[in-house]
Amino acid sequence: MMDGIAFQGLAEAAQDPRPHAIVIGSGFGGLAAAIRLGARGWRVTVLEKLDAPGGRAYVYRQDGFTFDAGPTIITAPYLLEELWTLCGRRMADDLDLRAMNPFYQIRFDDGTVMNCSADLDATRAEIARIAPEDLPGFERFIAVSERIFDIAFAKLADQPFHQLSTLLAAVPDMMKLGGWRTVYGKVSDYFTNDKLRIAFSFHPLLIGGNPLTTTAYYCLIAHLERLHGVHYAMGGMGAVVNGLAGLIEGQGGRFRFNAEVEQITVADGRAKGVRLKGGETIAADVVVSNADVGWTYSKLLSEHPRRRWTDAKVARTRYSMSLFVWYFGTNRRFDNVYHHTMVLGPRYRELLTDIFKRKKLAKDFSLYLHRPTATDPSLAPPGCDSFYVLSPVPHLGSGTDWAQQAEPYRAAIQQRLESTVLPGLGDSIVTSRMLTPQDFRDRLLSVNGAAFSLEPQLFQSAWFRPHNVSEEVRGLYLVGAGTHPGAGVPGVVSSAKILDQVVPHGATLARATA
């Protein structure tokens, strides 16, 4: 007798004869992939392990406070606008984006504060105040940042790199850009002041990279921010996630939550669907994995022999650092604190070495403090503030026992904030929660608890990264932080755009199988 699940699947196919695509995971990459597939003639099912969409962009709500779990800014809104356009809608009808000016404030350890913005004259004034001798270097740096952006992002970010010929064609431009250099090394060519070297080189940390080793291509972020701005979505990133989810449902796509995929099923070398924890199988014509790429290959394809992404290769791949995030709400407002603030510690290069090379949990830290209620009071009760503070930490390869270390580490961060930008914080906290590398591994299924999947190094970029078209299984595609072009909201949304070039149109497949 046919079971109810199989009957349901056949009934859905009869009502909607479009070929079926399964998307594993509903992070920004998975959501964007589902929309692009839906726009190209596919019936889409999004399977999500958690109880709501978002993945790393999940939203926590407690005690009247709302906390974005992960990303907090939008730096390339046109990439999201494209998704609304594909659905015949305007993003402005669903989202209220506010440009941040300045983007963020950097507080150095000696108390010096630098405002970072798109306004070149304002930035020149900040540099003149801190290190006027570096003004000529700044002019040269913004020019080279633009050149790198024009090639490495505008030209190559949404191009598939699964064929070696694509890499070879890009090599001349990539060599001209000095991609073998590191971000910190490149920045140091233009700035002599240590504060400015930090201010213009820290950006790789936003995507899991070490400025001391990440390819200089990521100097493009400085131009990306100036070109398209840094934006906040009213209601938080959860509003963006809900907007994208609404587009998918408007296309006839379907979400299933609390639906963890245990295995991608394969027959004759082709992905045929998935098996969920509990044994349920769901058939599909193509599978798109927005799960961590290391997890996809080592766990979701564990029953399939692999030639390139073997368990041994997954294990020896270099992964990004992880994050410790403390979310807290206060019973008062701290109106002297800006929306985005970097609270830097006494060390930079040494701290990065502890995190990425020594895999050592240091006693000092550099922090990103997010106060969304500076712009959007709706995320906290009246008269209160919602915060999150993020500290880059080693991934689980450090051996840190976070069950023991989380609370002492949080307390040390609280002390640092109280002594710098949030005096009296301890007496004001009314709600609190933490996210550790252990949560990235257990909740988000990220290998080693890495916050951004693979570390963005030269030989883990472009063709050297796991391909958007799986090297192991036909009909399997990868999107998200671990594949090309990399982590960050612009990167993962661009990874989904690549599907337009590598996944056939649904109508074409329907005709071929009719």
322-368 pLDDT per residue, tens:
999 999 999 999 999 999 999 999 999 999 999 999 999 999 999 99
82-101 mean pLDDT: 96
Residue 156 pLDDT > 70: no
3-state secondary structure of 107: strand
Residue 147 pLDDT > 90: no
Residue 5 pLDDT > 50: no
Q: Note the pLDDT of residue 3.
A: 42
Q: Note the pLDDT of residue 464.
A: 72
**Given pLDDT bands bounded at 50, 70 and 90, which one contains residue 223?**
confident
Where does 4-97+234-317+452-513 sit in CATH, by number? Answer: 3.50.50.60
Residue 420 pLDDT > 50: yes
What percentage of the chain has pLDDT greater than the value 70?
Answer: 89
Please give the sequence-ordered ranges of beta strands (E in DSSP) within 101-182, or none if there are none: 104-107, 113-116
**Given pLDDT bands bounded at 50, 70 and 90, which one contains residue 6?**
very low
15-21 mean pLDDT: 90
Q: Note the pLDDT of residue 487.
A: 85
Q: Note the pLDDT of residue 414.
A: 98
Per the CB < 8 A criterion, the answer to whether 78 and 229 are in contact is no
Residue 11 pLDDT > 60: no
**Given pLDDT bands bounded at 50, 70 and 90, which one contains residue 153?**
low
Least confident among 158-172, 184-198, 265-279: 158-172
Residue 176 pLDDT > 60: yes
149-171 mean pLDDT: 59
User: In Å, what is the CA distance from 421 to each residue of 171, 214, 379, 414?
Assistant: 46, 30, 21, 10
State how beta strands 429-435 and 59-62 pair: unpaired
489-502 mean pLDDT: 94
Q: What average pLDDT is seen over the chain?
A: 91
What tens digit of pLDDT does each residue of 104-132 get?
Answer: 999 999 999 999 998 999 999 999 999 99
Hey, how many other C-beta atoms are within 10 angstroms of the C-beta on 422?
25
Hey, how many other C-beta atoms are within 10 angstroms of the C-beta on 250?
13
Per the model's pLDDT, the better-predicted residue between 153 and 303 turns out to be 303
- Rounded Cα distance, 208 and 453, in Å: 8
**Given pLDDT bands bounded at 50, 70 and 90, which one contains residue 158?**
low
User: Which pairs from 421-425 meet CB under 8 Å and 24+ separation?
Assistant: 421/107, 421/334, 421/336, 421/337, 421/341, 421/343, 421/369, 422/334, 422/337, 425/330
Residue 8 pLDDT > 60: no
Helix, strand, coil percentages, rounded to 5, for the chain: 45, 20, 40
Residue 100 pLDDT > 90: yes
Per the model's pLDDT, the better-predicted residue between 123 and 169 turns out to be 123
Residue 502 pLDDT > 90: yes
The residue type at 204: P
Least confident among 210-214, 267-271, 431-435: 210-214
Q: Note the pLDDT of residue 146.
A: 85
Per the CB < 8 A criterion, the answer to whether 477 and 499 are in contact is yes
The residue type at 302: S
- Rounded Cα distance, 433 and 329, in Å: 10
Q: Note the pLDDT of residue 159.
A: 61
Q: Note the pLDDT of residue 161.
A: 55
Residue 2 pLDDT > 50: no
What tens digit of pLDDT does each residue of 455-491 get?
Answer: 987 777 666 789 999 999 999 999 999 998 888 999 9
Q: Where in the chain is the domain with CATH 3.50.50.60?
A: 4-97+234-317+452-513
Where does 321-442 sit in CATH, by number? Answer: 3.30.519
